[in-house]
Chain A
Amino acid sequence: MSKKQGWPHGALAAVAVLTLVVSWGCDRAAEPKAPAVETADPARILRLMSDTLAHAHQLTFRATRQLDAALVAGGVVAESAEIEVSISRPQMVRARMVSGAGVRRFYADGRRVSLLDEGMKLYATVPLAGTIDDMVNALDERYGFTPPLADFVVNDPYQKFSTQIHSTLHKGKEAVNGVECDRLMLTGEIADADVWISIADHLPRRFVATFKDREGSPQVKVDFSDWNLAATLEEPTFLFDPPAGAEKIVMAEIEDVKASAAKDGKP
């Protein structure tokens, strides 16, 4: 008996909920006095930015990056750096970074990765073949770092972001250096980030990540500029040639350093 009575109640509940949903939608559409609010889909905006970057075969951009001291390994002061990046998809990246620590260069030509410390005349080269995404993952895994601004450099930025965020939220429209942008909040497990994406060209203009797993919630702030998605870059641009007098040194693998430290720590 009670089983038979359950169906009408359930159906009534479903109809009630559907009626509520439909009426809510109708009310919103029928409001004549409300200002026209464009519903922005943050995932779509992030996807659009990623696609814009991914579809540019050769591109260059500049960025100013500020790292709070707590995010600088071995550092006790914040780091401000001017970064220039050149990309030739799918395999090649070159970056030049000028900071208080000097001038550093990064090269990836699809076969090798090289680092150069210009001031100290030191360099390292390791074999790392594959696409930019392969290279970024391998560097991260073996050597514990990625090229500057790797999230925006890889061939599939959307996938890269997706591994680091739980949810996205559109926080409105704001101007960054005179450019009208959509502001998105990307919530993640380790860090939350805000990214400002130009409404006109879908390119990132500002990025601020706040690390929740550290005391003081330190931040990395990046301002992007000088985007050129139609750059003409020849292959030699990405080939590393050690300058005269530079010495080749080791690029330490994370596991080796851990093993060495553990060995030294023995009584």
Chain B
Amino acid sequence: MNVMSHRFFIFASLLALDVVFHATVIHAAGRTVYGVSPARTTVVVAPAPRGVVVVAPAPRPVVVVAPAPVVVGLPSGYIAVLPGGYTTVMVGGARYYYVGGIHYRAQFYQGRTCYVRVRL
């Protein structure tokens, strides 16, 4: 063993000791972090049907910067809040919400009440 490898061994040992004392290195494994879903799993980009206002963001050019611009959105056809003036309609025993010529059906999406555009 030469001098360099001895010095390297000592340096590596000290470095390892430092890591053991000061850090716990475990990489993130789950989807949700501190109760917040990663934005990349909530954004579903799809062409919006004509004449329908949706909350989902329009497709945008990909720009590689850090941190990447990320928009928390809902899938196409989903809205978080019903527009004012909606009426409740019962069809086949199920409840729908009607407003602006569009019918919506409620569902829980990522733990929140959302409304999905449907065709009756």
Contacts and interface: CB of A to CB of B under 8 A. Distances in A.
Pairing of A with B = yes
Interface of A: 2-3, 5-7, 9-10, 13-14, 17, 43, 67, 70-75, 101-102, 104, 106, 115, 117, 120, 122, 124, 137, 139-141, 143-146, 148-151, 162-168, 188-191, 193, 207, 209, 211-215, 217, 220, 247, 249-252, 254, 257-258, 260-262, 264-265, 267
Secondary structure class of chain A's binding surface, majority of residues: mixed
A249 B111 CA distance: 12
Nearest to A141: B31
Contact of B108 (A149, A166, A249): A249
B112 A215 contact: no
Contacts of B67: 212-215, 217
A148 B32 CA distance: 12
B2 A166 contact: no
A137 B30 contact: yes
B46 A73 contact: no
A208 B7 CA distance: 43
Contacts of B32: 140, 144-146, 150
Contacts of B37: 73, 144-145
Nearest to B46: A265
Nearest to B23: A167
B70 interface: yes
Interface string B28-50: 11111111111101101111000
B113 A122 contact: yes
Given A70-B72, A74-B74, A264-B76, A166 B23 contact: yes
B53 interface: no
27 contacts: A5-B3, A6-B3, A9-B3, A70-B71, A74-B78, A74-B114, A75-B72, A101-B80, A104-B112, A122-B106, A140-B31, A145-B32, A150-B32, A165-B26, A166-B23, A167-B22, A167-B23, A212-B67, A215-B70, A220-B35, A249-B105, A252-B108, A254-B110, A257-B109, A261-B77, A262-B44, A265-B45
Given A165-B24, A189-B27, A10 B55 contact: no
Contacts of A188: 28, 33
Given A212-B67, A214-B39, A190 B107 contact: no
Contacts of B79: 74
Nearest to B47: A265
Given A101-B112, A144-B37, A214-B72, 14 more contacts: A6-B1, A43-B24, A73-B37, A144-B41, A145-B32, A145-B111, A149-B35, A164-B30, A211-B33, A213-B39, A247-B95, A247-B106, A249-B105, A267-B47
B24 to A, nearest CB: 6
Interface residues of B, number: 59
B73 to A, nearest CB: 7
A101 B70 contact: no
A190 B110 contact: no
Contacts of B91: none
Of all A-B residue pairs in the complex, the 10 with the closest CB atoms, nearest first, are: A10-B6, A74-B80, A265-B46, A145-B111, A74-B74, A6-B3, A261-B44, A250-B107, A209-B34, A167-B23
B64 interface: no
A110 B109 CA distance: 22
B1 A257 contact: no
